[in-house]
Amino acid sequence: MKLMNFTTFKKILYDCQRAQRLTIKKQESKLTLSEYIRLRIHLHYCGVCRKFQQFSALLNQVFAGARHELEERPPVTLTNEEKKELQRQVDELTEDLKN
Amino acid sequence: MKKTLDTRKWVENYGDYLFSLARYKLNDTEQARDLVQETFLSAIKAIDSFRGDCSEKTWLARILNNKIIDHYRAGKKEIPMSEYLDNTESSFSDHYFDFNTPGEYGHHKIAAFPAISPLESDVKIHQTELKKVLDGCIAKLPPSLSQVFLLKYISGENTDFICKKFNITSSNYWVILHRAKLLLRSCIAKIWSL
């Protein structure tokens, strides 16, 4: 049984742009079965795209950490004075809108 | 059921987070402070539109993000994102991939993928060090790409939200993330090869 012709196979092996876009998609959502197979075959033969996959995953990890940091320990802070003044404005406007 | 919001602790609870978020995205402390103020005041005026489908914090961060995007857009003629992607598709792809030589079918161009030894050796580099380098590189991304990149990676917005916001398909979205990551890779390679 003939599964795919030579040109199709060669395109799978050679098209790094497609493979890398699939890598991104895989890390963010889900691949279809044919996309999954295509990517597996490509990555088996292509070291550059394997490196890209690692790089992409590393970025995801670094930014997940950075986002967590930003939420838990905001690197810059407003001064107490600024906070008081800002909250005063917030309260004032809230009151105004109630009436 | 309608959720009521208590604004009395807003500044204490969310002020520093919003300020840091704005400061990171804008690289401008004064501007960041002003936008945080505007965010709180607009949020109060729009308080009836809060539907409780996300947390109060996320809702405020979204208002802030809209203000940041407006700030970038101010005075510029806006090109729809999908048009931007189409217009730049071939010049971008051709830098990294070979679609012109018969039989190459988009094969990577070796010169466009230099090894990044600190990332690819066994010695683990510290993530905070990498993050510092990345921050510099993100600042150099085309604004169209960095807006999307930061919404995903710093604001933590999901695919659906971002696609709706920029009126793009999910394929467009993968392309944007791919481009941003390729450019970041090139930028890091350049810095670490010096």
Which tens digits make up the pLDDT trace of A63-81? 999 999 999 999 999 999 9
CATH code for the part of the protein at B7-73: 1.10.1740
CATH code for the part of the protein at B81-193: 1.10.10.10
State the span(s) of chain B assigned CATH 1.10.10.10.
81-193
Whether residues A93 and B24 touch (CB distance < 8 A) is answered with no
Inter-CA distances, B56 with A66, A78, B33, Å:
21, 20, 20
pLDDT, position B123: 63
Question: If you average pLDDT over every residue of chain B, what do you get?
Answer: 90
> Is residue A1 pLDDT above 60, yes or no?
no
Residues 57-86 of A with CB under 8 A from B: 58-63, 65-67, 70-71, 74-78, 82-83, 86
Whether residues B45 and A91 touch (CB distance < 8 A) is answered with no
Whether residues B177 and A28 touch (CB distance < 8 A) is answered with yes
Which residues of A are less than 8 Å from B37 in CB distance? 86, 89
Residues 8-67 of A with CB under 8 A from B: 10-11, 14-18, 20-21, 24-25, 28-29, 46, 48-49, 51-52, 54-56, 58-63, 65-67
For chain A, give the percent of residues with pLDDT over 90: 84
Q: What's the gap in Å between the CA of A51 and the closest CA on chain B?
A: 8
Q: Which two tokens stand for residue A59?
A: 């970025």
> Is residue B18 pLDDT above 70, yes or no?
yes
- Helices A47-72, B127-139: inter-axial angle, 10-degree rounding: 100
Task: Give the side-chain half-sphere CA count within 13 A for B144.
Answer: 21
pTM: 0.90
Lowest pLDDT segment from A89-98, B5-14, B69-78: B69-78
Residues 108-127 of B with CB under 8 A from A: 108, 110, 113, 115-116, 119-120, 127
- Residues B39-64 as b/e (b if ≥16 CB within 10 A, e otherwise) read bbbbbbeebeebeeeeebeebbbbbb
Q: Flag whether residue B86 sits within 8 Å of chain A, measured between CB atoms.
A: no
What is the tens place of the pLDDT at every residue in B89-141?
999 999 999 999 998 999 999 999 998 878 877 666 778 888 999 999 999 99
State the span(s) of chain B assigned CATH 1.10.1740.
7-73
Which residues of A are less than 8 Å from B11 in CB distance? 78, 83, 86-87, 90
Whether residues B174 and A21 touch (CB distance < 8 A) is answered with yes
The CA angle B21-B25-B31, to the nearest 5 degrees, is 85
Q: Longest C-alpha distance within chain A, in Å?
A: 78
ipTM for the complex?
0.89
